[in-house]
């Protein structure tokens, strides 16, 4: 059984390819390398000993997507990561996000809709909840009007999948991620942000290694214990394993609904200052940071209620924040040592 992983050379995609191969799946990767390096393929192979079949395809090209599926009729599962994901960029260039994140999804589903059965795992995000009224956040929390075109593409993407699954033999699981961080313990793959990192953890490690002058902490006047925002930081390997468990649920036809939704987090919230402290403890380095004004669009707090993902999917995060920060730091040191 072949499994297609789109965006399979990206941060979460590459870690998921490793875990799929570890579980014996035959993995095919599509990536247009817009936010990933071809060398990630070597990293995956170094870890698992198996080089995944790789196609450099831009999923916005409808003909290429249809040609791929015509040449690969045995694809029975798709884990769809390929998408643009920078919140700020999406505000400046919404059509780039609507075209890239939604056209590609439609073309994939058009190639699955006539199969006797197709299994589809979608990379969604806790961003669909906006600022949820209640912590920890359950899957029943209301979907809030999106704060960015990026977040809107996740909401619309979920609706496109649901509408399609309801009238075809596509069975889907939507995984709403919280904040993925860290890197593989082998230090062969990890996060490779393009340009100046938008996310907290890569900015921390790049500051510590001397690539960035100073970390700006976006506000300490929020209604939290130390005034900084709270998030649910999940080790990327734990997140990758959640995808494998979700795929196995679909492949073994254990799903009880055509579309199932899971919040994938640790269930623990950590503030920005707590993340900085965790980093300083595991690295032994004092981080140079300053408090600045709030960042537009940030929510005060978001962390997952993990009851459903534990009880239904049988998955739980294993790594602690410190372990995740240590893996991120090891990776930063490795890629800067080249």
**Residues with catalytic annotation?**
150
The window from 107-115, 209-217, 308-316, 328-336 that contacts ligand WQD (CB under 6 A) reads 209-217
Residue 87 touching ligand WQD (CB under 6 A): yes
Of 254 and 294, which CB lies nearer to ligand WQD in the complex structure? 294
Phi and psi at residue 243, to the nearest 5°: -65, -40
Q: What is the DSSP letter of 10?
A: S
Mapping DSSP to helix (H, G, I), strand (E, B) and coil, where does residue 176 land?
strand
Neighbouring C-alpha atoms within 13 Å toward the C-beta of 110? 15
Determine the size of the site formed for ligand WQD (CB under 6 A). 18
Residue 90 touching ligand WQD (CB under 6 A): no
Which residues are bridge partners to 55 per DSSP? 30
Residue 101 touching ligand WQD (CB under 6 A): no
Cα–Cα nearest to 218, from 300, 302, 129, 130? 300
Of 85 and 241, which CB lies nearer to ligand WQD in the complex structure? 85
Report the C-alpha gap between 137 and 292 in whole angstroms.
28
Query: Mask of contacts with ligand WQD, 110-149, x by CB under 6 A?
Result: ---------------x-x----------------------
Chain centroid, CA 138 distance in Å:
18
Residue 199 touching ligand WQD (CB under 6 A): yes
Of 146 and 245, which CB lies nearer to ligand WQD in the complex structure? 146
Task: For the CB of residue 197, give the shortest distance to ligand WQD in the complex, in Å.
Answer: 7
Which of 229, 259, 261, 278: binder of ligand WQD (CB under 6 A)? 229
Task: For the CB of residue 243, give the shortest distance to ligand WQD in the complex, in Å.
Answer: 14
Residue nearest to ligand WQD (CB): 229
Which of 58, 98, 218, 274: binder of ligand WQD (CB under 6 A)? 218
- Quote the tokens at residue 248: 């196995």
From residue 186, alpha-carbon distances to 25, 135, 233, 316, 317 in Å are 20, 34, 20, 21, 19
- Quote the tokens at residue 79: 């884990």
Of 84 and 111, which CB lies nearer to ligand WQD in the complex structure? 84
Task: For the CB of residue 316, give the shortest distance to ligand WQD in the complex, in Å.
Answer: 20
- Quote the tokens at residue 130: 């906006």
Question: Please, are residues 145 and 230 in contact by the beta-carbon 8 Å criterion?
Answer: no
Residue 324 touching ligand WQD (CB under 6 A): no
Residue 243 touching ligand WQD (CB under 6 A): no
Which of 79, 264, 272, 317: binder of ligand WQD (CB under 6 A)? 272
Q: What is the DSSP letter of 94?
A: H
Torsion region of 262: left, alpha or beta (phi above 0 gives left; psi -120 to 50 gives alpha): beta
The window from 50-58, 99-107, 195-203, 318-326 that contacts ligand WQD (CB under 6 A) reads 195-203
Report the C-alpha gap between 102 and 92 in whole angstroms.
17
Query: Mask of contacts with ligand WQD, 28-67, x by CB under 6 A?
Result: ----------------------------------------
Phi and psi at residue 180, to the nearest 5°: -75, 130
**C-alpha angle 256/262/267, rounded to 5°?**
140
The window from 111-119, 193-201, 242-250, 328-336 that contacts ligand WQD (CB under 6 A) reads 193-201
Which of 90, 111, 124, 179: binder of ligand WQD (CB under 6 A)? 179
Residue 85 touching ligand WQD (CB under 6 A): yes
Report the C-alpha gap between 243 and 173 in whole angstroms.
9
Of 75 and 86, which CB lies nearer to ligand WQD in the complex structure? 86
């Amino acid at each position: 059984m072949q499994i297609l992983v789109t965006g399979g050379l990206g941060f979460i995609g590459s870690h998921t390819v490793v875990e799929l191969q570890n579980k014996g799946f035959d993995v095919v990767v599509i990536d247009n390398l817009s936010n990933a390096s071809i060398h990630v393929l070597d990293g995956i192979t170094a870890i698992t000993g198996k080089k995944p079949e790789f196609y450099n395809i831009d999923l916005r090209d409808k003909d290429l997507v249809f040609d791929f599926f015509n040449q690969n009729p045995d694809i029975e599962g798709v884990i769809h990561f390929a998408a643009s994901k920078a919140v700020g960029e999406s505000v400046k260039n919404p059509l780039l996000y609507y075209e890239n994140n939604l056209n590609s999804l439609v073309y994939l589903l058009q190639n699955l809709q006539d199969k006797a059965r197709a299994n589809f795992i979608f990379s969604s995000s806790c961003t669909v909840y906006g600022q949820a009224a209640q912590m920890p956040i359950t899957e029943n929390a209301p979907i809030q009007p999106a704060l960015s075109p990026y977040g809107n593409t996740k909401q619309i993407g979920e609706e496109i999948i649901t509408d399609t699954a309801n009238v075809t033999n596509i069975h889907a699981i939507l995984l709403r991620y919280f904040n993925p961080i860290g890197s593989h313990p082998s230090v062969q793959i990890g996060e490779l942000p393009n340009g100046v990192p938008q996310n907290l953890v890569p900015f921390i490690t790049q500051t510590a290694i001397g690539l960035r002058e100073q970390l700006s902490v976006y506000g300490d006047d929020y209604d939290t214990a130390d005034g900084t925002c709270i998030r649910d930081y999940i080790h990327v390997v734990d997140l990758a394993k959640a995808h494998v468990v979700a795929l196995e649920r679909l492949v073994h036809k254990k799903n009880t609904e055509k579309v199932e939704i899971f919040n994938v987090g640790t269930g623990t919230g950590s503030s920005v200052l707590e993340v900085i402290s965790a980093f300083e403890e595991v690295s032994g380095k004092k981080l140079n940071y300053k408090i600045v004004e709030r960042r537009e669009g940030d929510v005060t707090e978001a962390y997952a209620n993990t009851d459903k993902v534990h009880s239904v999917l049988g998955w739980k995060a294993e790594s602690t924040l410190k372990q995740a920060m240590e893996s991120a730091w090891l990776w930063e040191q490795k890629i800067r040592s080249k």
